[in-house]
Chains A and B, each alone.
Chain A
């Protein structure tokens, strides 16, 4: 079973509008972290935002916020006031457990976001 599922291969949004990128996850571990990364066409991976499984509030970082619904096992990324520079691939990822072999990040397949004028 996929640990991270991103069901939107591509999304379009108009400049200045908000957009939600979906992410669902699968784990039986009570302790986990959820991350979003941005990969622009230049190829680098940029860390955007983190949500811990025990966090009571949704994470926010500037124009990025994470809509964390634990019971539904979803961690959707919301980008407000989209800018042309937001056009990129966006990856959701999860880190389970604490340390050791559970230390790695598992990635979804990504969503390509295109911001239009």
Chain B
């Protein structure tokens, strides 16, 4: 059973470009979460999605960031007009359910570098 798949593993963008990060959840998981991690810091929640629906986007910056989880295909985190402060590791996670005892399983992350 494949784990959470994220690609690309590393992404370099120039200021002003767009970054697209992809995440395929574990098989059978319909709950997807995106987190951001700055160097030497913990993971900060960004957004929680179920198929075709955004459930909680309380951690998403108001501008330039968007996320989707279409009926078919991976979840996408999109960052428009990237700035140097967007450089971070972005982790996707999925879970089988929203019950408290259902852990989030994480992908290996996408390391975004904005030059």
Closest 8 CB pairs of A and B: A33-B100, A45-B106, A99-B98, A103-B98, A101-B56, A107-B42, A107-B43, A109-B42
Q: Taking beta carbons and an 8 Å cutoff, which residues of A are in contact with B?
A: 31-33, 35, 37, 43-47, 50, 52-53, 91, 95-110
Nearest residue (CB) in A for B111 is A43
Can you show 24 pairs from A to B with CB atoms below 8 A apart? Answer: A33-B101, A37-B106, A45-B106, A46-B106, A47-B103, A47-B105, A98-B98, A98-B99, A98-B100, A99-B98, A99-B99, A100-B56, A101-B58, A103-B31, A103-B48, A103-B56, A104-B33, A104-B45, A104-B56, A105-B93, A106-B45, A108-B42, A109-B41, A110-B41
Interface residues on B, range: 20 to 34
Please tell me if the beta carbons of B106 and A103 are within 8 angstroms of each other in the complex.
Answer: no
Please tell me if the beta carbons of B48 and A101 are within 8 angstroms of each other in the complex.
Answer: yes
Shortest Cβ distance from residue A39 to the other chain B in the assembled complex, whole angstroms: 9
Per the bound structure, the CA–CA distance linking A99 and B31 in Å amounts to 10
Q: Taking beta carbons and an 8 Å cutoff, which residues of B are in contact with A?
A: 31, 33, 35, 41-45, 48, 55-56, 58-59, 89, 91, 93, 95, 98-101, 103-109, 111
Please tell me if the beta carbons of B45 and A44 are within 8 angstroms of each other in the complex.
Answer: no
Overall SS of chain A's interface:
mixed
Picked from B35, B99, B108, the residue with its CB within 8 Å of the CB of A43 is B108
* Most B Cβ at <10 Å: residue of A32, A99, A100: A99
